[in-house]
Amino acid sequence: MYTPDYSISTPENVDLHLELAGIGNRILAYLIDMTIVGMILLLLGMMDMAIYLGATYFKVPTEAKETLVMAISVVAIFVSFFLFFGYHIFFEGTWQGQSPGKRLAGIRVIENNGQPVSWSSVFIRNIVRVFDNGMMLIGLLTMLINKNEKRLGDLAAGTLVIRERKSELTGENIPMLTKAKAEPLLDIGRISSEDYDLLARFLKRRKGLSASHRPVIASRLDGYFREKLKDGGIQEGQQPAQGNPEEFLETIFLSYQARGEEFGI
């Protein structure tokens, strides 16, 4: 039985099950982000040095050279301040809870209620980052203790870091052959990304299956997913007929995609 890491009850009284990002993935994302920040600072330092050496080489007057050095210092301080405080705020706010490191690690920040993270929450969680990264990495200790792997910034902002459920298979090239529609009351959180991949592959390749194999496979998948969803799926009377397994499979597929678009995960 699939046991979710975190469950959210939506306003529609549907449970949304999410997978926590994991401390390892969060550390990986942080190291990637810090590498990017370090490379930017290194590049800035090299540019400043080149400008200074150029001014020396071309014998710029002392007063002008001092002014240039002052201007370079001000720019360096401003950029360093922005990178330290604004890097995560900017990216998490504009990329719906992801920084470059989080995107590469496949994780995302969301609100406790499952909604996309707001600018105010992004601001709070990253201002508190100063304490998380300092004080002997208290943020890491908090993540180890907290059952939802939250650091102080997450606790203060009411946010959660989850693993994205993405698949290489999309619905763009998978035609729907029935009148199936996304079902908002389907507890699609019980479907893992691996289940979705399995379903998408069948729907994509079913036309190439033989007339004898296609209904057998569809029936087995129908049974598998009905069992998966029986404790929290579509309410009785709303399920597609048992005699049309492909309609039920398409309903799951469309609902999974719709849920991902709704919550931005």
> Shortest CA distance to 143 belongs to which of 154, 156, 134?
154
Q: If pLDDT is split at 50, 70 and 90, which confidence band does 97 have?
A: very high
**At how many degrees (to 10) do helices 23-57 and 62-81 cross?**
170
**At how many degrees (to 10) do helices 87-94 and 119-127 cross?**
160
Please say if the pLDDT value at position 135 is more than 60: yes
Please say if the pLDDT value at position 136 is more than 60: no
- pLDDT of 231 reads 54
- pLDDT of 11 reads 53
For 42-84, how does the pLDDT look when each residue is reduced to its tens digit (9 = 90+)? Answer: 888 888 788 778 877 777 787 777 787 788 878 888 888 888 8
Residue that wins the pLDDT comparison between 158 and 180: 158
- pLDDT of 2 reads 42
Please say if the pLDDT value at position 261 is more than 70: no
